[in-house]
Amino acid sequence: MKTKKDKKEGDGLIRLNKYISDAGYCSRRKADELIAAGVVKVNGRIIIDLGTKIATDANVTVNGDPIFCTQHYKYIVLNKPKDYITTTSDERGRKTVMELVNVQTRVFPVGRLDRNTTGVLFFTNDGELANRLMHPKYHIERIYVAGLDKPIDLRDAQKIAEGVELDDGKTAPCEVFVNPKDHTEVTVALTEGKNREVRRMFEAFGYDVKKLHRRFFANLSVSGMQRGDFRYLERKEILELKKIVGMR
């Protein structure tokens, strides 16, 4: 019979061979062979005990190759449409992005897109990854395409690239590309996440953003996806995402 102490110590833990198997790396039997061979590390330490249990958020490598258990963590990208707010619930009864990501596992949006902004929105239940993606020190790139109410003056585009003084501080320098065939279409690549930053930068120079689409967030895009569609990230996308924030 398990004691209360045993139960507490077992909460949230998973056998290492099951973790490796659930990650799709190999069978449990093969995982045992790899562990016994000394090629499996957990949080930087070689593990050879076949009965070892680990936390589901542990850093596991096999022959130096980082793996993760997708059974426990979910990584999803949504092509957000207009008229949905980026929150898990809304007291005013407005439509939220959670209505579009219909999965059994509880996930949450990483960062925000305002109601009328479309494009890449990332969801996960991996708290460590989410926190790093939002931390300013990692300079996560976000690329937006803005449709303006009038052609932009190239001198204004240069000033936006150099940084704009807003009521909550000056924006960091960013890259601005004006479509040579249509000066109402401007692409902005930035690494900050200020509230409504892109819209406010243009508004500071008298431009109204009629359309705003986030084309990239870090290495993620919604190329080929319809508005409102979501998909699970591929293994290589997750590994690259974790690499960007130093998790491998």
- Catalytic positions are 114
Give which of 160, 185, 164 is closest to 175, Cα–Cα: 160
Token readout for 199 is 């819209």
Give the Cα separation of 48 and 43 in Å (integer). 14
Amino acid at 28: R
| C-alpha atoms less than 13 angstroms from C-alpha of 20 in its C-beta half-sphere | 28
Contacts of 143 (CB under 8 A, 6+ apart): 187, 188, 189, 214, 215, 216
Q: What is the DSSP letter of 96?
A: B
Give which of 220, 151, 221 is closest to 186, Cα–Cα: 151
Give the Cα separation of 35 and 116 in Å (integer). 50
3-state secondary structure of 125: coil
| C-alpha atoms less than 13 angstroms from C-alpha of 100 in its C-beta half-sphere | 26
